[in-house]
Structure 1
Amino acid sequence: MSTTTTTATEELPSQSVVLGDRETLKADFNYWGTTTDPQESELLAIFTGKSTGLRAVQCPVTDIRPIGLSSFNLGTHGFQVLKHSSALLPPQADSIPDFHDEKHINATYWPELVSMLKSQLGVRSAVAVGSTVRDIQENDPDEFDHKLPRRFLGKSLQPFFIVHGDYTPAGARAHFRAVVPTYFEELNNMEGTTERERKEFFQFRDEVIAAEEKAMKEEGVTDQWAWSGKNYAGPRWGYLSVWRALETVHRDPLGVMDPRSLFRPGVEKPYIGLQRDYRDRPGFEKPFKSENLLAVAPQRGDEHKWYYISQQTPEEVYALKLFDSDAQKEGSTVAPFGAHSAFSLPDQESEKVRRSVEVRVMVIW
């Protein structure tokens, strides 16, 4: 069952940010073209850009660098730019390590991110779910088709050119509930965490699920897929994507949509749910169901407001919201998530292909 939570534009907290025309360009974004939910059988066609349900829309994209990276925050905009220099990357390191080396990255890079989120966002607990590395090395037509949103090439992925969120609210809860007691062992994350951190996470998780069960009972439902998310009174929790460029970005930057333009008045269904079956994911029940979301195309491109960071460096790290339990509360003024997508810059074809890594993290405030 797909779930959609709508929040009126005026209900999100306001923040004065002056956007100038000179910082704005036009770019094509691939949206889901209807309000009809796709079937899971369409998943491959969607991810390879072959689905007839996709529609390209030209939208304005504003460079936030001249405005000030600190002007944007998770509560209002669904993303925040954190300043952080990794010990694994230049200038602290001599070269860029292999981010596909799961054991090494999980034990070294993940703890860096946990520390960063605790110190800069004030979360009590942060637990990494997994890394996605986009590091196609050469602009070889046999290796890289820029028109495809996603293509598996060994371990590497290219930038993803579909406007999406990683979870619907129900999908995020399903992921969170599917965590198994051997989670840290299965993700090779014993070395990167302390016994206290592991114990604390499961204690918080138990509190969250108990509060969800209580709220569902108050609503008269037993299946979390049928639950509205209302009446929840437990710890605030969510999912973040911690997105970092491995080198300065000259091509295919990440664009993030202002959630106030997605959840604007008069839009009955701003996104659709794409159900997923996970059969053998380390650290989770086998199998379990989750749900991604695809943003529905606007009638006009200027109805959606997009942001990006020009020449983004590895020290300028996105904390991109994927889910926030506070956004589900009735009357909430918190941004629910930040829909996002790669997009093409003008005359970028001769530039070096973007290399980046994103780590999905469960957080509890």
Structure 2
Amino acid sequence: MSTTTSTTTTTTSQAPASYSVALKDKDTLTASFNYWGSTSIPQESDILRIFNGSSTELQRVQCPVTDIRALGLSSFNLSTHGFQVLRHSSALLPPQSDSVPDFHNTDLISATYWPELVSLLKAQLGVRSAAAVNTTVRDVKETDRDGFDPKNPRFVKQSMQPFFIVHGDYTPAGARAQLRAVVSTYFEDNNNMEGTTESERTEFFRLRDEIIAGEEEAMRQEGIGDHWHWSGKNYTGPRWAMLSVWRPLEPVRRDPLGVMDPRTLLQPSTAKPPYIALQRVYKGRPGFAREFRSENILAVAPDQQQLGNKMHTHQWYYISQQTPDEVYALKLFDSEAHRGRGDGGRSESEEVAQFVAHSAFTLPQQENERLRRSVEVRMMVIW
């Protein structure tokens, strides 16, 4: 795989990440991605400007993007790479259906689509239990600023534009906070009783209790009072993760989703961490505590540091002309990545990705193509 020297410029434009014509071979191109380019920590009041791309703290960096088709869709696995391509034909979409239904129909999604994804993850990832958190549909071109709630920047129907910021959905502590905020009426509150069985609901809560008990014991051993300050080590409970299951509703003609190789996210210098945490407070989310704190991840631009005869950069991937039966499982958190071992850690071959940074990006000469329509469901999964 060939590489390129990355260049960096700061932008204040509201336009999404732009394409730079610099083909290295027929399967790899260079594209610009918007990173958090400041040493300051964003405040919750900055969320609107971050989501609509107007923040002056964003920094564009050119990175190589390789078409996964050239490497084979099965070449990547969730544990090591932070993402995996799953093959799945939904009963709601062609060719199983005559047309694409309204994915804003929460009753349809919770009763039909969520159960499909649970079955998919059990069959292809081997999880014991899975529960959907929420659904986001991306089917608009530009964000209507008046359509945002600053505390939960989504449209009323959770319809959004492609997101052109390099990000991860949770810090480790933020993911743990999400799981701990689940309430006993979770499935009822999400209209998910029809789409689940009593045994599935019982198993989810049983495993969740095991996870929290395991975390509490690990924290006690480490002398830590709460999970916000815990490293994640010494945990012996069930392995669990937060995932995003991302699917296009029709073949992608523009603004595809890019996923970063997590092994290239780490900075060559320890002086600069690879991401910053965006503090969030969620209120009134169905199935969760009335109010709870969490954290998102904004990836920072790679160090412009010489490594031998190359510049440090991030390697990205995408699926050209991605179809609805080519589904991304994106890792947002994995307890196994933080568990550690008594001998001081894992070997390189055993390394587990913490999460996968991702972002939409633009392709050349596709401005007049049909808008990208996609749906993503956040899920809690337990092995």
- Aligned-partner SS, 1:317: strand
1:151–1:158 CA contact under 8 A, matched in 2: no
Q: Give the C-alpha shift of residue 235 in structure 1.
A: 0.4
Pair 1:319-2:329 in alignment? yes
- The aligned counterpart of 1:242 is 245
The residue type equivalent to 1:298 in the other structure is P
Match of 2:80 among 73, 76, 81: 76
1:31-73 deviation digits (Å, cap 9, x = unpaired): 0013432122211221122222211111111101121000011
Q: Report the equivalent of 2:314.
A: 304
CA contact (8 A) 1:151 1:157 kept: no
Give unpaired runs (5+ residues) of structure 2. 1-23, 146-151, 305-310
What is the percent sequence identity of the aligned residues?
A: 69
Contact preservation (8 Å) 2:278, 2:297: yes
CA contact (8 A) 1:31 1:162 kept: yes
Q: Deviations over 1:111-151 (max 9, x none)?
A: 00100100000000011111000122xx6x7979xxxxx98
Counterparts of 1:177 and 1:306 in 2: how far apart (Å)? 33
Q: Distance in 2 between matches of 1:24 and 1:176?
A: 38
1:231 equivalent to 2:237? Answer no
Native 8 Å contact 2:83 2:329 kept in 1: yes
Residue 134 (structure 2) aligns with:
130
RMSD: 1.8
Aligned residues: 338
Map 1:259-278 to 2 at 5 A.
259-267=262-270, 268-278=272-282
Deviation, 1:152, is: 5.0
Deviation (angstroms), 1:76 = 1.5
Give the secondary structure class of the aligned counterpart of 1:65: helix
| In structure 2, distance between residues paired with 1:26 and 1:120 | 32
Distance 1:320 1:297 in 2: 21
Amino acid at match of 2:199: R
Q: Which amino acid aligns with 1:343?
A: F
> In the alignment, which of 208, 211, 222 is matched to residue 205 of structure 1?
208
Deviation at 1:266, TM superposition (A): 2.4
Question: 1:188 pairs with 191, 213, 222, which one?
Answer: 191
1:150-201 deviations in whole A, cap 9, x for unaligned?
9855532110000000000000000000000000000110000000000000
Shift of 1:104: 1.0
Q: Which has the higher contact order (CA 8 A, sep 6+)?
A: 1
- Structure 2 CA distance, aligned partners of 1:98 and 1:203? 34
Q: How does 1:146-225 map to 2 (within 5 A)?
A: 155=157, 156-225=159-228
**1:32 aligned to 2:36?**
yes
* Equivalent position amino acid for 1:314 in 2: P
Distance in 2 (CA, whole Å) between partners of 1:171 and 1:142 is 26
Tell me how far apart the structure 2 counterparts of residues 118 and 211 of structure 1 sit (CA, whole Å): 23
Residue 306 (structure 2) pairs with residue 288 (structure 1): no
Q: Calculate the TM-score normalised by the size of structure 2.
A: 0.85
Unaligned stretches of 5+ residues in structure 1: 1-19, 145-149
2:45 to 41, 46, 50: 41
CA distance in 2, matches of 1:325, 1:143: 36
- Which range moved further: 335-344 or 222-231? 222-231
SS at structure 1 position matched to 2:69: coil
Contact 1:274 1:292 in 2 (8 A): yes
SS in 2 for 1:98: coil
For residues 268-326 of structure 1, what are the alpha-carbon distances to aligned partners after superposition, in whole Å with 9 as ceiling and x for unaligned? Answer: 40000001001111110011000000001113486100000000000000001000000
CA distance in 2, matches of 1:310, 1:192: 33
